């Protein structure tokens, strides 16, 4: 991921708040240029498993996360520089509002000189659109500005009112109409994953067609060069030691267990692990392996089907009884408890490897960046869940937030039962490959 400085047109797609249409616009722009035969690489700012599903479908390539704290500045620099060497266009979808969070999307844009494209839901405004665009542009000195795109616009007259309100008309990049066909479906944790929608690609094509009618969508490659960004070669880091060489890690992967960072899979392979995948929902048995990873996802939406997977439950129990590691995070952990109570109040008997009950609730129970200190190193990551857990198990330790002292912090619990480790904490494996290896090695073999 090293080399000389590479230049490539790039945009950070941001908004004044969540729900403005950032993902739709980013995916539509990626799909539009991919259909024209251009190589597009897309990134997602912050911790997110769901938006990348749509962005990957639109661009045809894996979507990595960029976060100055969770993934780290060096990792961001390396991934951007590598992508710039092969792409005609780089896109980064922001998180929440442009200046929300520590660090924010604006921090990322400023660190790497990314021009900001602001997407603003203009459905209930006219002249205020210009004030909002002006405020976003001018709020932080030194932020590179590309322009603004109005979303959910009522028609041509409305679009003209919005454009007239801009201080600098050159920043007008067009308007997308207020149409149900341009909205991506959502549920309690965010967007519905693209793989769950039969017409997902057709939806993106509709959005790309609409975007093609705007000044932004009509731009040719030479016009996009106005947003070229030089990405310097990062300092080469030390590759992970092959601590998992010769070991096979079995990973649950289907619509119930889909919250997996592509970088986490890369990290396991760099550690020397052989990866094999299985689908609990399809009735797959546990493949031969040395360790198991049950990632997060939506077990609550498939609780009845998962509860019926008795052979897999028995295989997992034998796996743990043989002191082989099992790492379960968030949704993967939820499936391991005795009982899962879904949002409608239905109680499902789950896999019973952990004592206790997990209950879905209407309000968030955990959200934000977290880190987990293990003997092998400190893993960074995040938490985001709507369920609560009641268990007689006592946490062996807890995660803690950026800047918090580890001692006494009330972050997410880490539970251990024999060779089984589980937490609501979602880990970014590259933040500490050595600590990652520890999750998938027997305790006596941990580094």
Is residue 118 within 8 A of residue 133, CB to CB? The reply is yes
Of 38, 50, 43, 52, whose CA–CA distance to 83 is shortest? 43
CA R_g for the chain: 23
Is the N-terminal amide bond of 103 cis, ω within 30° of 0?
A: yes
| Cα 49–Cα 319–Cα 429 angle in degrees, nearest 5 | 30
Catalytic residue among 8, 289, 330, 389: 330
Task: Give the 3-state secondary structure of the chain.
Answer: CCCCCEEEEEEEEECCCCCCCHHHHHHHHHHHHHHCCCCEEEEEECCCCCHHHHHHHHHCCCCEEECHHHHHHHHHHHHHHHHHCCCCEEEEECCCCCCCCCCCHHHHHHHHCCCEEEEEECCCCCCHHHHHHHHHHHCCCCCCEEEEEEEEECCHHHHHHHHHCCCCHHHEEEEEECCHHHCCCEECCEECCHHHCCCHHHHHHHHHHHHCCCCCCCCCHHHHHHHEEEECCCCCCCCCCCCCCCCEEEEECECCECECCHHHHHHHHHCCCEEEEECCCCCCCCCCCCEEEECECCHHHHHHHHHCCHHHHHHHHHHHHCCCCEEEECHHHHCCEEEEECCCCCEEECCCCEEEEEEECCCCCEEEEEEEEECCEEEEEEEEECEEEECCCCCCEECECCCCCCCCCCCCEEEEECCEEEECCEEEHHHCHHHHHHHCCCHHHCC
| Count of positions (residues) in the chain | 447
Is residue 136 within 8 A of residue 165, CB to CB? The reply is no
Annotation marks residue 330 as catalytic = yes
Tokens of 162: 């919005």
Active-site annotation, residues: 330
């Amino acid at each position: 991921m090293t080399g000389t400085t590479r230049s490539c047109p790039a945009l950070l797609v941001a908004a004044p708040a969540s729900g403005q249409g950032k993902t739709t616009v980013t995916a539509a722009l990626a799909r539009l240029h991919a259909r024209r035969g251009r190589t597009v690489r897309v990134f997602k700012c912050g911790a997110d498993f769901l938006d990348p599903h749509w962005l990957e479908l639109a661009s045809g390539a894996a979507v990595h996360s960029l976060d100055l704290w969770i993934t780290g500045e060096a990792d961001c620099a390396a991934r951007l520089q590598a992508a710039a060497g092969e792409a005609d266009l780089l896109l980064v979808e922001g998180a929440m509002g442009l200046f929300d969070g520590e660090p924010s999307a604006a921090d990322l844009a400023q660190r790497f000189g990314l021009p900001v494209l602001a997407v603003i839901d203009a459905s209930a405004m006219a002249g205020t659109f210009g004030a909002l665009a002006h405020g976003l542009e001018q709020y932080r000195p030194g932020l590179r500005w590309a322009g603004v795109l109005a979303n959910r616009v009522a028609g041509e007259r409305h679009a003209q009112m919005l454009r007239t309100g801009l201080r600098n008309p050159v920043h007008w990049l067009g308007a997308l109409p207020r149409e149900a066909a341009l909205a991506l479906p959502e549920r309690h944790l965010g967007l519905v994953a693209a793989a769950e929608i039969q017409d997902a690609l057709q939806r993106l094509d509709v959005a790309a067609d609409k975007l093609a009618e705007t000044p932004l969508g009509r731009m040719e490659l030479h016009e996009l060069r106005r947003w070229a960004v030089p990405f310097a070669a990062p300092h080469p880091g030390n590759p992970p030691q092959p601590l998992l060489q010769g070991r096979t890690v079995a990973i649950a992967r289907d619509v119930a267990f889909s919250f997996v960072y592509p970088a986490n899979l890369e990290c396991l392979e760099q550690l020397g692990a052989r990866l094999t995948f299985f689908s609990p929902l399809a009735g797959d048995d546990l493949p031969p392996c040395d360790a198991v990873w049950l990632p997060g996802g939506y077990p609550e939406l498939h609780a009845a089907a998962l509860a019926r997977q008795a052979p897999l439950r028995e295989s997992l129990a034998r796996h743990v009884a043989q002191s082989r590691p099992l790492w379960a995070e968030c949704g993967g952990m939820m499936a391991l408890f005795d009982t899962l109570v879904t949002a409608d109040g239905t109680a499902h008997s789950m896999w019973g490897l952990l004592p206790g009950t997990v209950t879905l609730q209407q309000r968030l129970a955990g959200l934000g960046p977290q880190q987990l200190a293990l003997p092998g190193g400190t893993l960074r990551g995040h938490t985001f869940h709507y369920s609560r857990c009641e268990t007689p198990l006592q946490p062996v330790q807890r995660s803690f937030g950026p800047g918090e002292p580890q001692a006494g912090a009330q972050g997410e619990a880490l539970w251990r039962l024999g060779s089984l480790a589980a937490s609501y904490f979602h880990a970014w494996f590259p933040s500490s490959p050595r600590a990652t290896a520890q999750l998938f090695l027997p305790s006596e073999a941990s580094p």
